[in-house]
Amino acid sequence: MISMFRVFRDSVGLAMLSASVAGAAPWSGWRGADGTGISVETNLPLKWSASEHVKWKTALPEPGNSTPVVSGDRVFITQAVGDERLVICYAVKDGKELWRNGAKGVAKEPSHPTNPYCSASPALDDGHVYAWFGSAGLYCFDFEGKLVWRVDLGEHRHEWGYSTGPVVVGGLCYLNFGPGPRSFLLAVDKGTGKEVWRQDLGKVEVTMPRQDGFGAKEGVVGSWSVPLLIDTGDRRELIMSWPEQVRSYDPLTGKVLWHCGGLNPLVYSTTLFGEGLLVAMGGYGGSTVAVRPGGSGDVTGTHRVWHEPRDSGHIGSGIIRDGHIYVMNMNGIAQCYELKTGKTVWKERLKGPGGNSESWSSMVLAGDRLYVPNQGSDTFVVRASPKFEVMAVNSVGDGMTNASLAVSDGRIYLRTHAHLWCIE
């Protein structure tokens, strides 16, 4: 076990060091290489439009919500085309499609009208791309589009569909298979797809009065949160925001290390981590919990720092920087909180020319700039500061946008329902 941990630790540390030295790290997963939404890039564009600073745009075959991932000269998305569930690879230089591969003849599954199939973002690692297509399985391809392995995980079924993609760190690929009757956290060998461990969520008993938007009825229960790997200084922990609680797992064995109560039963966003604190946000006017990692067992009474029973509706995930939390809620209101107390510093509605100010996208931080799109394909650049300042409002006028941004090598990749844009 010690040798496994050292390999795991060293591989992660080396990858992060290489990214920092290069200064232009690949955007290898949803929310970047470490899952925090924080980029090392310092030369991203501040202003653009549909005709200015656009390197290329490529038409997409159908609507989609997943976020692009980028490595070297290639950018990848997951995409539904009819009954196919695909990874499509494009050239960074001109947006030309290089290949597509995936599952064919996939039966229709339940989903929300606003959640097209293939909304789970892919992940990249060591010349391979990983993608989850719900009931069609978990896939691994090489960068030339050749299938390396496929794992059949059985049926996924939820009335709103799926959206949480794989996370690849060290030698393992992690996946939140859920929500729905079959919900579990899984780790497979990234090279073979062989299962290493699995932790079932089990039946969720709603024990607290609902403070979220489903308070008047039983409502929807489940988590679309993506697993987050953190380093506490003493150990590594794999963090998941589940209905009603945050849980920490040993990333090598799947053993539950601790759990903290206080979340509502509906969770969309991924847990935030920074400056020694984890912040988990429930969905649809649900609760927010701040907790210190590193505990054991039930840490609700010992490690929970603050708890807001009814917060704004969060679908996108935020950013922690310099003692503050920044997040955009689903109604298009940007917020800044004190990290240590949860106290609101500012709260401002962001409106652009696109006509739809709601936002499901997660923030990206580069330097002191926060980048976040809304559903009208406007991207706001807000200074990450306790003093509210909009630095730029950039619109491409391309309709519905639910994906988050990917950034790499001075470029911004924006996915709308109609196009994939490269802004430089």
Question: SS3 sequence, 291-350?
Answer: ECCCCCEECCCCCEEEEECCCCCCCCCCEEECCEEEEECCCCEEEEEECCCCCEEEEEEC
- Encode pLDDT of 335-385 as tens digits: 999 999 999 999 999 999 998 999 999 999 999 999 999 999 999 999 999
Least confident of 18-22, 34-38, 234-238: 18-22
The Cα–Cα gap between 398 and 375 comes to 10
Q: What global pTM score does this model have?
A: 0.93
Least confident of 19-23, 78-82, 314-318: 19-23
- Which residues touch 233 (CB under 8 Å, ≥6 apart)? none
Radius of gyration of the chain (CA): 20
Report the chain's mean pLDDT, rounded to a whole number: 92
DSSP 225: P
Only one residue has tokens 């938007």, namely: 213
Average pLDDT, integer, range 66-70: 98
Task: Give residue 154's Cα distance to chain centre.
Answer: 23
Identify the H or E element spanning 7: helix 2-22
Domain 2-209+220-423: which CATH number of 2.130.10.10, 3.40.50.720, 1.10.240.10, 2.60.120.380: 2.130.10.10
Task: Give residue 15's Cα distance to chain centre.
Answer: 20
| For the chain, domain boundaries | 2-209+220-423
- Encode pLDDT of 174-208 as tens digits: 999 999 999 999 999 999 999 999 999 988 778 77
- Which residues touch 326 (CB under 8 Å, ≥6 apart)? 318, 319, 320, 334, 335, 336, 363, 365, 370, 382, 384
| Model pLDDT, residue 15 | 43
Q: Supply 89's token pair.
A: 């690879």
HSE-CB for 211 with a 13 A CA cutoff: 20
The Cα–Cα gap between 229 and 200 comes to 18
| Model pLDDT, residue 215 | 62
Task: Name the residue among 211, 207, 209, 206 with its Cα closest to residue 310.
Answer: 211
The Cα–Cα gap between 373 and 274 comes to 23
Phi, psi of 134 (to 5 degrees): 65, -130
| Model pLDDT, residue 213 | 75
Q: Where are the alpha helices (DSSP H) in 129-224?
A: none
Dihedral sign for Cα 172, 173, 179, 181, please: negative
Task: Name the residue among 368, 335, 367 with its Cα closest to residue 350.
Answer: 335
